[in-house]
Amino acid sequence: MIVLWTDSLIFALIAVLTGLAVYLHGHEPFRRPLQKVAGSRSGMISLVVLLFFVVIGLLDSVHFRPQTGVDHDIISLLDYWATPLRQQGEKTYSAPFAVTLYSKEMTTQADGSTRWDYPRLQYGGRHLANPETDRWPDILQKSLYGFFQGASLFVFFMVLLWTILKERCRNALTGATAKAVWATVFILVSLSYMLCYLSGYYHVLGTDKVGEDVFYQSIKSIRTGLVIGTLTTLVMLPLAVVFGILAGYFRGWIDDVIQYVYTTLNSIPSVLLIAASILMVQVYMANHEEDFTSVVVRADMRLLFLCLILGVTSWTGLCRLLRGETLKLREMEYVQAATALGVGQGMILLRHILPNVMHIVLISVVLDFSSLVLAEAVLSYINIGVDPTTYSWGNMINGARLEMAREPIVWWSLSAAFVFMFTLVLAANLFADAVQEAFDPRRSGRE
């Protein structure tokens, strides 16, 4: 097993989030908002979709070097599962569910003659003897079969879960929100199984210029989007929380210094700062080639550095919010009483200030996640984002830029990146709305 830098940070973040969840569950001020989030139908449905993406990202974050086969570089569990999609490439473009290439070529017929025609794909639809008449009935049949298998798998685990759980837990599975959640899980499992089953016979989202499966590219890009959204938050959060609370509580020269730092940082164009940082890491890797012998390791280092620089440039907004909130909290009666009783400033910050700004932190983190996912797409589009060898929606959009000018147009790479990114960002935004409504004290006070 090989642990990349981003892999270690991802699993460290999971451990921190698990500990934070246990901590918040035992505190009454957070229990009620969390219960409100759990009672939100749209919030829980979006959370299920996010967790579905997270599971795929985690499968793509367990890396190892295979001992046998044609692979000699580092691969992940997701790569191992999707070996047919990785290795069954075509010559060039092919449309979704196509059985021929997208462009005509001079082909050799069975009798030795040549003809200007669309060549058959090497893998897509190769099981069809007569593609003109058998393709769409075969696609429909295999779609229904794959959907039925996925639905059967879901029903099996639901029956098993219902048998194992106690009566009180069974009642929790029958509420209105729970039914919506299980319906979402049913749709995700069934459709995913259907697409995976179909991908064994067709390129369900077509192939790109070099013949690589677009469905495989879209799935692999999930990890990149999640890493950008989560690890950047891991870098940004401590800076924003510590500096924001210190500036608001101590005021004076400490407040002046912190304001000067983030005002100066905001004055630097973030695109130029990111471009300069990416150039620095490229120069470093070029001068230390012996430490970056693998393409995966080089791409991972650039991804990690991109998360770091995005975190350094994106903490200022939350810092401003926390500074303003702390300025208000330090004048509250309970803080003044604690100061008069001789409670240490460190204890006041930890016991009175930090818990009362956590709702702002949670709301900002969830809201910033979707903007960071979109930022990766924009940065990769202008070639200062992740490494070109890294699978990402930004690289897919960048690669599809010239394809849109072809005739006939090649539309499926851009559409696939858009659909996957739109689904993730929409789920994140809906979940952010539920979190904001639950943790916003102004809304809670009106209930």
Q: Report if residue 79 sits inside a domain.
A: no
Is residue 207 a part of any domain in this protein?
A: no
Residues 336, 402, single domain; the answer is yes
Residue 183 sits in which domain range? 91-198
Q: What is the pLDDT of residues 328-375, one digit of tens each?
A: 888 888 888 888 888 888 888 887 888 788 778 877 887 788 788 888
pLDDT tens string 118-168? 888 888 888 888 888 888 999 999 999 999 999 999 988 888 877 776 665
- How confident is the model over 364-411, as pLDDT tens digits? 887 788 788 888 877 877 777 788 888 888 888 888 877 777 777 888
Residues 189 and 291 placed together within one structural domain of the fold: no
User: Is residue 73 in a domain?
Assistant: no
* Six token digits for residue 424: 């993730």
Same domain for 56 and 14, yes or no, is yes
Is the pLDDT at 71 greater than 70? The verdict is no
Residues 184 and 277 in one domain: no
Residues 375 and 293 in one domain: yes
Instruction: Give me the number of domains the chain comprises.
Output: 2
- pLDDT over threshold 50, residue 447: no
Q: Residue 152: inside a domain, yes or no? A: yes
What is the model's pLDDT at position 169?
Answer: 57
What pLDDT shows up at residue 28? 67
* Residue where one domain finishes, among candidates 173, 198, 223: 198
Q: Is there a domain that residue 359 lies in?
A: yes
Higher pLDDT, 24 or 17: 17
Looking at the chain, the whole-number percentage of residues with pLDDT higher than 70 is 92
More confident site: 100 or 22: 100
Domain-ending residue, one of 168, 198, 228: 198
Residue 286 lies in a domain: yes
What pLDDT digit, counting tens, does each position of 252-296 carry? 888 899 989 888 888 888 778 888 888 888 888 888 777 777 788
Contact 90, 121 (CB under 8 A): yes
| 374: CATH | 1.10.3720.10
Residues 13 and 100 reside in one and the same domain? no
Q: Which of 27-41, 90-104, 213-227 has the lowest mean pLDDT?
A: 27-41
| Residue-wise pLDDT tens digits, 257-266 | 998 988 888 8
Mean predicted lDDT score pLDDT of the chain: 83
The verdict on 311 and 179 lying in the same domain is no
Mean pLDDT of 421-432: 88
Residue 443 has pLDDT above 60, yes or no: no
Are residues 374 and 315 located together in one domain of the fold? yes
> Would you say residue 423 lies in a domain?
yes
Q: Is the model's pLDDT at 69 over the cut of 60? A: no
227 or 37, greater pLDDT: 227
Q: Is residue 327 located within the same domain as residue 419?
A: yes
Give yes or no: residues 242 and 383 share one domain: yes
Percentage with pLDDT > 90 across the chain: 17
Question: What pLDDT, on a 0 to 100 scale, did the predictor assign at position 152?
Answer: 92
Domain's final residue, options 152, 170, 198: 198
Whether 18 maps to a domain, the answer reads yes
220 — pLDDT class (breaks 50, 70, 90)? very high
* 81 pLDDT more than 90: no
> CB-based contacts of 410: which residues, under 8 Å, 6+ apart?
93, 102, 400, 403, 404
Would you state the pLDDT for residue 29? 65
